[in-house]
Amino acid sequence: MITPTATPSAPVQRVPIVEMRSIQVAFGGVRAVAGVTIDLYPGEVVGVVGGNGAGKTTLMRTLSGARPPDAGQILVNGQPVAIGNPRDAKALGIETIYQTLALADNLDAPANVFLGRELTGTGTLNDAAMESATRKVIGRLNPNFKNFKTPVLRLSGGQRQAVAIARAIHFNARALIMDEPTAALGPAETAQVHNLIKQLKSEGIGIFLVSHDIHDVFDLSERISVMYHGRLVDTVNKNDVTTDEVLGMIILGKPPTKLTRQELAELHG
């Protein structure tokens, strides 16, 4: 009896959640983003870094729908999409957690999670259903969160981040843009936010992490995309570079292979 030979299976091709190809944005005669290509995979954090005016915020605004690109293409799960406004982005599972968090300080966690998308029953707000759903989604992120009836103004920075993230992922976000998530937080609150991000990664959510904190970026990212004067210097694997090399990319606009020892030494001069 001849045993049939097994046909080797082809390697599974991973598809990015989000792919931005040759994105260009100009303000007047100034090219704020000049032909940038960047992508994001499920369960991955990509740090997006650069000095002031590098273009990283403008690039992320094109993905969030706040500023449609002048040229280039955005793909979601391998399919070309048009993102003309923030509603389009949300419908595609792309949410933004702004540095300000955009929370209503006088409202509690459930009211913030469902702000603008409230659940109703027989003509009135269904507070019990909104609280139950909020307890479930925040419980996934931070099992120790207990302050569901407290106005978010009185919560810690880490707890406020949990509410903002819960609002995004409850409505099926697959990709998050996080803008300076640990700015102005103390060490304990920063650790809380790091745990939130690690939990999101474990659930397969991809994150673009926009940050000036190089240590945050190295702690949390798998890859780092560096921008300089509107262009992409390079996207590097975190484990293949040093913090000095990334700083050199940010300050000098050169990929690691073109940075000299003298240039790296002068960063500390």
Q: Give the DSSP per-residue string, 121-174.
A: ETTEE-HHHHHHHHHHHHHHH-TT---TTS-GGGS-HHHHHHHHHHHHHHTT-S
Query: Which CATH superfamily, name and number, covers 15-93+174-254?
Result: P-loop containing nucleotide triphosphate hydrolases (3.40.50.300)
Q: Which of 90-104, 114-128, 156-170, 216-230 has the highest mean pLDDT?
A: 216-230
Is the pLDDT reported for residue 12 higher than 60? no
Across the range 52-74, mean pLDDT stands at 95
Q: What is the reported pLDDT for 127?
A: 87
- Tens digit of pLDDT for each residue in 157-172? 889 999 999 998 888 8
> Hunting for tokens 């949300």 — which residue is that?
90
Question: How distant, in Å, are the alpha carbons of 24, 52, 54, 55, 83 from that of 70?
Answer: 6, 21, 17, 14, 12
- 135: Cα within 13 Å, side-chain hemisphere: 10
Q: What is the reported pLDDT for 10?
A: 47
**pLDDT tier for residue 124 given thresholds of 50, 70 and 90:** confident
Q: Which of 87-96, 186-195, 208-217 has the lowest mean pLDDT?
A: 186-195
**pLDDT tier for residue 112 given thresholds of 50, 70 and 90:** very high
Q: What is the pTM of this model?
A: 0.89
Contact 161, 179 (CB under 8 A): no
Q: Which of 2-6, 13-17, 40-44 has the lowest mean pLDDT?
A: 2-6
Q: What is the reported pLDDT for 98?
A: 85
Domain boundaries in the chain? 15-93+174-254, 100-173
